[in-house]
Amino acid sequence: MSILLVSGTGTGVGKTVVTAAIAALAVDRGASVAVVKPAQTGVAPGEAGDLDEISRLSGATDLHELVRYPDPLSPEAAARVGGAEPLLLDVVARHVDRLAGSRALVLVEGAGGLLVRYASDGWTMADLARLLQVPVLVVAAAGLGTLNATALTLEVLAGRGLRHSGVVIGSWPARPGLAERNNVRDLEQLAGRSLAGALREAAASSRDFLGLARHGLDPTLGGRFDAADFRT
Q: Please, are residues 113 and 7 in contact by the beta-carbon 8 Å criterion? A: yes
| Partner residues linked to 65 by β-bridges | 37
**Binning pLDDT at 50, 70 and 90, where does residue 1 land?**
low
With residue 104 as reference, give the H or E element that holds it.
none
| One-character DSSP codes across 131-194 | HHT--EEEEE-SSTTHHHHHHHHHHHHHHTT--EEEEEEEEE-SS--HHHHHHHHHHHHHHTS-
In whole angstroms, give the CA distance from residue 75 to residue 87. 8
User: pLDDT, tens digit, for every residue of 14-64?
Assistant: 999 999 999 999 999 999 999 999 999 999 999 999 999 999 999 999 999
Domain 3-231: CATH superfamily, name plus number: P-loop containing nucleotide triphosphate hydrolases (3.40.50.300)
Q: What's the average model confidence in pLDDT over 84-109?
A: 97
- The rounded radius of gyration (Å) of the Cα atoms in the chain is 17
pTM of the model: 0.97
| Annotated catalytic residue within 37, 68, 117, 164 | 37
Sign of torsion, CA 92 93 95 96? positive
Active site (annotated) includes residue 15: no
Residue 166, phi-psi category: left (phi > 0), alpha (psi -120 to 50), beta (remainder):
left
User: pLDDT, tens digit, for every residue of 199-222?
Assistant: 999 999 999 999 999 999 999 999
